[in-house]
Amino acid sequence: MSDGGDSSSDNPGCSTGTSAKSGDRQMEKARVSKTSAILWHAHQNDAAAVRKLLEEDPSLVNARDYDNRTPLHVASLHGWVDVAKCLLEFNADVNAQDRWKNTPLADAEGEKKPAMIKLLKSNGGLSYGQNGSHYEQKVVSPPLPNKCDWEIDPSELDFSNSSTIGKGSFGEILKVYWRGTPVAVKRILPSLSDDRLIIEDFRHEVNLLVKLRHPNIVQFLGAVTERKPLMLITEYLRGGDLHQHLKEKGALSPSTAVNFAMDIARGVAYLHNEPNVIVHRDLKPRNVLLVNSSADHLKVGDFGLSKLIRVKNAHDVYKMTGETGSYRYMAPEVFKHQKYDKKVDVFSFAMILYEMLEGDPPLAHYEPYDAAKYVAEGHRPIFRAKGYVPGLKELIEECWSEDMHKRPSFLEILKRLEKIKDHLPSEHHRNFFSS
């Protein structure tokens, strides 16, 4: 009863189309096979096999592989002159370019094949491209200052749920999100974005931070320098700053204070590494940050007042800006506008260590300026706490010595702290820092 039959027999057009497509595929397959063959024989320096293929199909002379390389590219790279002569005889394109824009002559020059270079030049060969696709001879220029890898597009910063971490006369520090990650952003006030000195200080801080890599230094992530407002982006540390921590907790146990002190000392020892010494110049609890709410790790931050110095001699001193930093933690030589060196950071460290053990800022009953003046006159804070373990008072006193040359280096401080830590009673060991 069926009035139809097999559809393929009833629709000759379909059958013809299928067979035509099948034929095209066969031809393409054969073409790919021939292209592979001529490139292979050119690579193997088999001029006879290359000639045989070209006599069968002259168009193969300019066949291309997936990198747009012709048989002449392959022969030129290896210096196979006989193969090249055969290809040129069949009118090979002497200036064909591969995907790296190299001509056969560029390849021959790159591989230093003098006979091939002479042959190609005599046939009109030109040298352009990258002087050989297999290696780069050009010197790669470093990124231009305004095209840095760390330049961040402000549109990547999400301020929709931002919160203020800190404020200053220059601007504010905010917690924002960058590509889904919480970060800290120091944002310069728009009204100050055209202030030459502010811009210089901002760029100085960026240039310093770019160079710093250490577990106890706040990690720089990027900056916005090409648009206003200017912004500096660093990692966000959830634990807040040491100033707030001490305000909430009061005096720390000797073991915690020693562990905290070791983290600060590690960070500043890294900054003080010669010959390129970075003097922080504003070490204080607000500029020491806690990695998390467990308060088990500290990092040194805020390099706005830091100074990069190239040291020639170990005891070099510098005439730098007097009264730089925060008065309460300021070394007397800075307050008195005398020449000073990296030991100003050692003095500030002593004041921080004192505060961690006492629970109150040094000379808390004085206003900051008056405290600095009092210290410059030769006075020091009084030890009141009872929790000092052997060696700690002596270390603090050496670190805040009037004579900066008598203050130990941070590497020496670390050795002293290690010894003190080893002699702490067992109940003090909380071993935050096993590294």
Query: Quick check: helix, strand or coil at residue 27?
Result: helix
pLDDT in tens, 408-418: 999 999 999 99
Lowest mean pLDDT among 169-183, 267-281, 293-307, 319-333: 319-333
- Residue 81 pLDDT > 80: yes
Predicted pLDDT of residue 321: 45
Predicted pLDDT of residue 21: 62
Residues annotated in the binding site, as ranges? 186
Predicted pLDDT of residue 435: 37
Lowest mean pLDDT among 134-138, 152-156, 216-220, 397-401: 134-138
- Number of neighbours of residue 226 by Cβ within 10 angstroms: 13
- Residue 429 pLDDT > 80: no
DSSP 157: E
Cα separation, 85 vs 75, in Å, equals 10
Query: Quick check: helix, strand or coil at residue 247?
Result: helix
How much is the average pLDDT of 371-394? 93
Instruction: Report the percentage of the chain scoring pLDDT > 70.
Output: 82
Predicted pLDDT of residue 209: 85
Could you give the C-alpha distances from 105 to 44, 112, 125, 230, 405, in angstroms and in order?
19, 10, 6, 50, 66
DSSP 337: T
Predicted pLDDT of residue 110: 83
Predicted pLDDT of residue 256: 93
Lowest mean pLDDT among 17-26, 274-283, 345-354, 390-399: 17-26
Residues annotated in the binding site for ATP, as ranges? 186
Q: At 435, which helix (H) or strand (E)?
A: none
Task: Identify the band that residue 258 occupies on the pLDDT scale cut at 50, 70 and 90.
Answer: very high
Predicted pLDDT of residue 261: 97
Nearest to 132 by CA among 91, 79, 83: 79
Task: Identify the band that residue 172 occupies on the pLDDT scale cut at 50, 70 and 90.
Answer: confident
Between 293 and 247, where is the model more confident? 247
Q: Are 411 and 345 in contact (CB under 8 A)?
A: no
Domains in the chain, start-ordered, CATH in brackets? Answer: 11-122 (1.25.40.20), 147-235 (3.30.200.20), 242-428 (1.10.510.10)
Task: Identify the band that residue 147 occupies on the pLDDT scale cut at 50, 70 and 90.
Answer: low
Predicted pLDDT of residue 142: 45
Predicted pLDDT of residue 302: 82
At 230, give phi and psi (nearest 5°).
-65, 140
Predicted pLDDT of residue 92: 95
Q: Does the CA dihedral 263-266-267-269 come out positive or negative?
A: positive
Nearest to 60 by CA among 85, 24, 82, 93: 93
Cα separation, 359 vs 357, in Å, equals 6
How much is the average pLDDT of 116-126? 93
How much is the average pLDDT of 237-262? 93
- Residue 22 pLDDT > 60: yes
Tell me the helix, strand and coil percentages in the chain, rounded to 5: 45, 15, 40
Q: At 201, which helix (H) or strand (E)?
A: helix 196-210
Predicted pLDDT of residue 20: 60
Cα separation, 348 vs 286, in Å, equals 12
Nearest to 299 by CA among 344, 235, 203: 235
Length of the chain: 435
- Residue 111 pLDDT > 70: yes
How much is the average pLDDT of 276-283? 86
Burial tier of 181 (Cβ tally within 10 Å: 0-12, 13-18, 19+): exposed
Nearest to 86 by CA among 51, 113, 121: 51
- The verdict on whether 194 is a catalytic residue reads no
How much is the average pLDDT of 216-235? 90
Q: Are 332 and 322 in contact (CB under 8 A)?
A: no
Task: Identify the band that residue 318 occupies on the pLDDT scale cut at 50, 70 and 90.
Answer: very low
Of residues 98, 107, 241, 282, which has the active-site annotation? 282
DSSP code per residue over 206-265: HHHHHT---TTBPPEEEEE-SSSS-EEEEE--TT-BHHHHHHHH-SPPHHHHHHHHHHHH
Nearest to 79 by CA among 29, 124, 115: 115
Could you give the angle at which helices 81-89 and 114-122 cross, rounded to 10 degrees? Answer: 10
Predicted pLDDT of residue 322: 44
Instruction: Report the percentage of the chain scoring pLDDT > 90.
Output: 53
Lowest mean pLDDT among 47-61, 143-157, 328-342: 143-157
Please name every residue paired with 288 in a beta bridge, in sequence order, or none if there are none: 300
Question: Mean pLDDT, the chain, as a whole number?
Answer: 83
Cα separation, 52 vs 38, in Å, equals 10
Query: Quick check: helix, strand or coil at residue 361?
Result: coil
For residue 49, give both structure tokens: 């096999």
Predicted pLDDT of residue 304: 67
Pairing of strands 157-167, 171-178: antiparallel
